[in-house]
């Protein structure tokens, strides 16, 4: 019997994978000799203190349906950042519903 | 940004919010720097790797790559942090920019990156995109080309949990989700799961059409070099469909 690929995807595959992983790098592994440590930021981080409605931005044409976003969910609130804008800032940080948040990219 | 790694972090140390900037480069990934302590931080693990707070960690959380259309379906009241910085506005002109446009601009690492990088893992191409998931010491990478061979649907056992990795056509990105379903198929752009759930426009619905809570492992939709240098020797999901072997 030939099964479609999409259902074969359900076959457990763990046995085919190696089981030895070492976890994430830690501070103990940090090799300062190959780190570039600038004396000042190369880019300006983004510290917004107010937010706008995504629906409004869409109506105004500042974004379209395919615009790339980075999205953070905090309780019932969804906060979006434009991926292209974050490709400059790299870090955005603020407060939402009284709680601090930060996105790195 | 070159590695496309988006991470959420709680910028609070012992209850005090610190102010972070990008400052430095290591393993081809930028280092974060907090102004209050003068420490450098790994932005994917949230650990301080240098300075007075070395060894401290910030809680991390998922940040998802997706699109305006998908978010407006899922959260019509979504908020945006919109930057008016001239350099940011220049990049987000012409409607904000798609992920394909961003990824297409990047074909390799800048000249200053290799000197900061440890020994690279040659099992995959440096700039290949995929989704990396991790839990404790377990880290696994699902390359885009491999997931594509599985009709953009992969089920896997991840540390005893059943994980679904799929390409979300509304987000233009791979996603990982824990589920009790054991199979799935596409009906157009709707992903139908064997447990009666479905994922449509990036939203998970139960069999009765009700929205369901998501259960997502820590994940990054990123390039191979960034994931494999941060999580050395990660497992790779590289099985091909049986029909292709």
Helical segments of A9-63, H only: 54-60
In this prediction the ipTM stands at 0.93
Q: B54, B68, B213: which to substitute to probe chain A, counting the most A Cβ within 10 Å?
A: B68
> Measured between alpha carbons, how far is B48 from B165 in angstroms, rounded to an integer?
30
Chain A residues within an 8 Å CB radius of B74:
78
A98 Cα to chain B: minimum distance (Å): 12
Tens digits of per-residue pLDDT, A84-101? 999 999 999 999 988 999
Contact map slice: A 53-92 vs B, CB within 8 A: 53-55, 57-58, 61-72, 77-92
What's the burial of B90, exposed, middle or buried (CB within 10 Å: 0-12/13-18/19+)? exposed
Which pLDDT band holds residue B241 (cuts at 50, 70, 90)?
A: confident
Tell me how crowded residue B108 is: count the other CB atoms within 10 A of its CB: 10
Which pLDDT band holds residue B103 (cuts at 50, 70, 90)?
A: confident
Chain B residues within an 8 Å CB radius of A12:
156-157
Q: Which residues contact B44 (CB under 8 A, 6 or more apart)?
A: A24, B5, B7, B29, B220, B226, B230
pLDDT at B245 over 90: no
Cβ contact, residue pair B83, A10, below 8 Å: no
The answer to whether A10 touches B155, Cβ cutoff 8 Å, is yes
Residue whose entry in the numeric block shows the structure tokens 């609070």: B12
**A11, two tokens:** 């076959």
DSSP state of B196: S
> Measured between alpha carbons, how far is B158 from B109 in angstroms, rounded to an integer?
31
Q: Specify the pLDDT at position A13.
A: 46
Residue whose entry in the numeric block shows the structure tokens 């693990």: B45
Q: Specify the pLDDT at position B105.
A: 75
> Measured between alpha carbons, how far is B150 from A91 in angstroms, rounded to an integer?
35
Q: Specify the pLDDT at position A42.
A: 87
Nearest to A52 among B25, B79, B139 (CB): B79
pLDDT at A12 over 50: no
Tens digits of per-residue pLDDT, A35-68? 999 889 989 999 999 999 999 999 999 999 999 9
User: How far is the CA of A84 from the CAs of A57, A78, A105, B128, B219, in angstroms?
Assistant: 15, 18, 10, 20, 20
Is A23's Cβ below 8 Å from some Cβ in B? yes
> Measured between alpha carbons, how far is B244 from B36 in angstroms, rounded to an integer?
55
DSSP letter for each residue of B62-116: E-EEEEHHHHHHH-TT-EEE----HHHHHHTTTTS--HHHHHHT-SS--TTSGGG
pLDDT at B3 over 80: no
Q: Specify the pLDDT at position B1.
A: 64
Tens digits of per-residue pLDDT, B130-185? 999 999 999 999 999 999 999 999 999 999 999 999 999 999 999 999 999 999 99
Share of chain B above pLDDT 90, in %: 84
Q: Are strands B39-42 and B48-50 parallel, antiparallel or unpaired?
A: antiparallel
Tens digits of per-residue pLDDT, B16-55? 999 999 999 999 999 999 999 999 999 999 999 999 999 9
Helical segments of B86-234, H only: 86-91, 99-104, 144-149, 224-230
Nearest CA in chain B to A39: B23
Tens digits of per-residue pLDDT, B58-79? 999 999 999 999 999 999 999 9
């Amino acid at each position: 019997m030939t099964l479609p690929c999409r259902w074969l995807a359900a076959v457990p595959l763990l046995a085919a994978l190696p089981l030895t992983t070492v976890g994430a790098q830690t501070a103990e592994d940090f090799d300062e000799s190959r780190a570039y440590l600038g004396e000042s930021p190369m880019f300006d981080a983004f510290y917004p203190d107010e937010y706008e409605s995504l629906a409004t931005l869409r109506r105004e044409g500042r974004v379209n349906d395919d615009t790339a976003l980075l999205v953070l969910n905090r309780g019932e609130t969804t906060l979006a950042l434009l991926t292209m804008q974050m490709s400059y800032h790299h870090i955005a940080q603020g407060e939402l519903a009284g709680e601090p948040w930060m996105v790195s990219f | 940004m070159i590695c496309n790694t988006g991470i959420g972090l709680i910028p609070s140390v012992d209850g005090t919010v610190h102010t972070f900037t990008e400052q430095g480069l290591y393993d081809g990934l930028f280092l974060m720097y907090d102004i209050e302590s003068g420490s450098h931080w790994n932005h994917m693990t949230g650990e301080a790797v240098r300075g007075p707070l070395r060894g401290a960690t910030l809680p991390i959380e998922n940040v998802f790559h997706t699109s305006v259309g998908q978010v407006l379906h899922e959260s019509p009241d979504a908020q945006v942090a919109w930057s008016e910085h001239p350099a940011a506005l220049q990049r987000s002109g012409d409607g904000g920019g798609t992920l394909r446009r961003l990824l297409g601009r990047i074909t390799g690492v800048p000249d200053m990156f290799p000197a900061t990088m440890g020994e690279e893992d040659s099992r995959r191409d440096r700039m290949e995109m995929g989704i990396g998931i991790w839990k404790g010491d377990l880290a696994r990478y699902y390359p885009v080309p491999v997931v594509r061979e599985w009709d953009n649907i992969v089920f896997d056992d991840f540390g005893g949990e059943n994980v679904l990795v799929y390409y979300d056509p509304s987000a233009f990105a791979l996603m990982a989700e824990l589920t009790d379903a054991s199979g799935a198929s596409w009906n157009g752009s709707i992903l139908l799961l064997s447990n009666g759930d479905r994922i449509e426009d990036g939203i998970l619905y139960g069999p009765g059409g009700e929205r369901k809570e998501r259960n997502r492992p820590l994940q990054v939709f990123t390039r191979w070099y960034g994931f494999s240098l941060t999580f050395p020797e990660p497992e790779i999901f590289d099985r091909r469909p049986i029909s292709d072997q």
